[in-house]
Amino acid sequence: MKIFPAIDIKDGKCVRLLKGDFEKSTEYNKTPLEQAKAFSKLGYRDLHIIDLDGALEGKPINGKLIEEICRIKKIKVQIGGGIRSVEYIKRLIDIGIDRVILGTIAVEDIKFFENVCGKFENKIAIALDVRNGFIALRGWKKQTEIKASEFVKKIENFGVSRIIYTDINRDGTLTKPNLEETFKLSKLTKIPVLVSGGVSSINDIENIASQNKSDPRIEGVIIGKAIYDGKIDHDQLIKMSFFN
């Protein structure tokens, strides 16, 4: 099972939001680049990065910083936030990004999404950011009436490499992830799913790992605030052999 420490970038800083609210953000001392290097030294092999500025603006904002992070050796990076063009997707892949995460554009222009999934084989992931079962877009500020469970059926055969399923109401709250809904969604698709939002303890990780053994579609978990606030010990994760 894969563990993805999360780095959210806002105004060039490393932050965490509460339930996706840009007015309720916590800034951390390390810069995004320093934090990425720290995660690499600890032994993490996968990294989840969101350009929050890009998500709000609808265009890439922190490209240079992301390129610097990509130069870190022995770590795979997946990146999302404001990515809306074939050209920028290609640029990200060319600099070494492992997976490009699309969200708003994937939902608003499903033909574009199908096209890039075919063009960049096994490189395109989708962020399903969900509030009460319905997808939210544009930095979680635009709420739709599209059910995630219905949308995932439409993209089943596009060649999507993974789904990042985030329960917005749990994100940044340390109140446990919404495993019931995440596991329910994973059973609707053959696409690998990452759990995201609300991870609070090593017990949450153990529950996800247990599901991973019986359902390989649960590919891994994204951890943000729990790591930054010291709720999960890195040594515990390493001893449990989750880095493989």
> Looking at 8, 46, 98, 204, which residue is catalytic?
8
For 51-102, write each residue's pLDDT tens digit: 998 888 888 889 899 999 999 988 999 999 989 999 999 999 999 999 999 9
Tokens (6 digits) for 59: 């265009």
Those residues whose C-beta lies under 8 Å from the C-beta of residue 206, and which sit 6 or more positions away, are: 240
For 195-223, write each residue's pLDDT tens digit: 999 999 999 999 898 888 887 889 999 99
Global pTM value:
0.92
Angstrom distances, CA of residue 213 to CA of 10, 13, 155, 186, 191: 36, 36, 25, 14, 16
99-102/193-196 β-pairing: unpaired
Instruction: For residue 199, give the nearest of 214, 189, 213, 209 by alpha carbon.
Output: 209
> Looking at 51, 53, 129, 167, which residue is catalytic?
129
Q: Helix (H) and strand (E) counts for the chain? A: 11, 12
Tokens (6 digits) for 218: 């649960």
Q: Is 129 a catalytic residue?
A: yes
Least confident of 11-25, 63-77, 161-175: 11-25
Those residues whose C-beta lies under 8 Å from the C-beta of residue 103, and which sit 6 or more positions away, are: 55, 80, 126, 127, 128, 129, 137
SS3 at position 136: strand
Query: What distance in Å separates the CA atoms of residue 240 and residue 160, rounded to the nearest whole number?
Result: 29
Q: Is 94 a catalytic residue?
A: no
Share of the chain above pLDDT 70, in %: 96
Domains of the chain (ranges plus CATH)? 2-239 (3.20.20.70)
